[in-house]
Amino acid sequence: MSKIISPCYNVIDLFCGCGGASLGLELAGCRIVGAVDIDSTACKIYPENLDLKPICGDLKHVKGSEILKHYGLKKHDVDFVVGCPPCQSFSSLRRTRGLPKGDDKDALIVAFLKRVREIRPKVVLFENVPGIATLEGGRYLDLYLKRMHEMGYESVCKILDAADYGVPQHRKRVIAFSVEGTNGKEELLMPPPTHSDPKFVDEGDKLPCVTVRETIADLPPLEPGERDSVIPNHKARKHTQKVLEIIKNVPKDGGSRKDLSRRLWLRCHRKLRNGGAENVYGRMWWNQPSPTITSRCTCPSSGRFIHPEQDRGITPREAARFQTFPDHFVFPTETASADRYIGNAVPVLFIQNLVRYFVEEYGHLS
């Protein structure tokens, strides 16, 4: 980007989690002036990495006026509100397992809309999983966009892949930018992709996608159960003998469980019809972006999360790099807990690049 953004845009991050979106916003030149999350551990991680202590509370009950008062702000002091409501109700995995009785899928969206109405920022950034655009005919995304329009915001909304914006990970997300009071003065557009599959980079001025090799190859090798003494969270899970036998027989650089001798298949995989679980016990490819990092991203049984070359699952630090967190970003030392906060975060660079573009192109509208 050619323009320089001065830190003059005040942002409140709702559903802030451990701070992935907030860090991206800071790197885009914004100032974080408020944050809220219901997760008490996330609220402890956040101030270890960013210069702000979040409100720990349920956004269904924490009103916008309380947020503003807590941080010494007035209603029109806020330029951006960012919201990445927890997406479990809209995820494909959750739908295959069914929803618990009483699950109110739109409750957090409605809460977010209420807080936006009370805070009245100039710009709103909403992020969620692609399932929100299709579940029940897309009614939940339609609800959100309709309510934003009724409040006087014009929106642009699209499903984007983080890998197209320099993140070393394929991670598709619904992104909606909404600007108050444009009155149709200017059409809002999403930022164009900056990266592409190397096979197609000659078709334009895009850069090749950032690969697994570029992202983690410099990290010290580890055996299962081993921890690096210098790099935080670079600790490999200790695998059972059965799992280790499977991993060692998966071909390097992109092999999967389907490449294994059938005697090594787990009983549950033998029962699958028409394929299925293709990526379970799969290795990442060196020369491609990683698959989507999840809250179980170091478990080989949960996806294509085996190191391309070493006989182990990836470490939390490797997962954090795919999410574009810097190595100095603090996560819990316990692996399962670190996985959760890393996997649920928004890629730092994704938010940084989207917001920087949007401010440069449309900052004059706000």
Three-state DSSP class for residue 128: strand
Q: Give strand pairing partners of 161.
A: 172
Q: Given pLDDT bands bounded at 50, 70 and 90, which one contains residue 363?
A: confident
Contact 154, 182 (CB under 8 A): yes
pLDDT of residue 98: 45
Digit-coded pLDDT (tens) for 210-246: 999 999 999 999 999 999 999 999 999 999 999 999 9
263 located within any domain: no
Residue 218, CB-side half-sphere exposure with 13 Å CA sphere: 6
Three-state DSSP class for residue 159: strand
Digit-coded pLDDT (tens) for 107-136: 899 999 999 999 999 999 999 999 999 988
* Segments of 109-164 assigned E as strands: 123-128, 153-161
Query: Does the structure show a pLDDT above 60 at 5?
Result: no
Q: Answer positive or negative: Cα dihedral of 46, 50, 51, 52.
A: negative
Give the C-alpha separation, 277 to 88, whole Å.
Answer: 20
203 located within any domain: no
User: Which tokens is 10 given?
Assistant: 């005040």
Mean pLDDT to the nearest integer, 84-108: 59
Query: Does the structure show a pLDDT above 50 at 148?
Result: yes
* Overall domain count for the chain: 1
DSSP 160-208: EEGGGGT-SB--EEEEEEEEET-TTSS---PPPP-EE-GGGGGGSSPEE
Enumerate residues 6+ apart whose C-beta is below 8 A from 219: 228, 231, 234, 315, 317, 318, 321
pLDDT of residue 264: 63
Digit-coded pLDDT (tens) for 260-304: 766 666 666 555 555 555 778 899 999 999 999 999 999 999 999
The strand pair at 172-180 and 195-196 is best described as unpaired
194 located within any domain: yes
31 located within any domain: yes
Query: Which domain range does residue 148 map to?
Result: 9-198+346-365
15 located within any domain: yes
CATH number assigned to the domain comprising residue 101: 3.40.50.150
pLDDT of residue 75: 84
pTM: 0.90
147 located within any domain: yes
38 located within any domain: yes
251 located within any domain: no
pLDDT of residue 187: 87
pLDDT of residue 6: 47
Mean pLDDT to the nearest integer, 70-97: 76
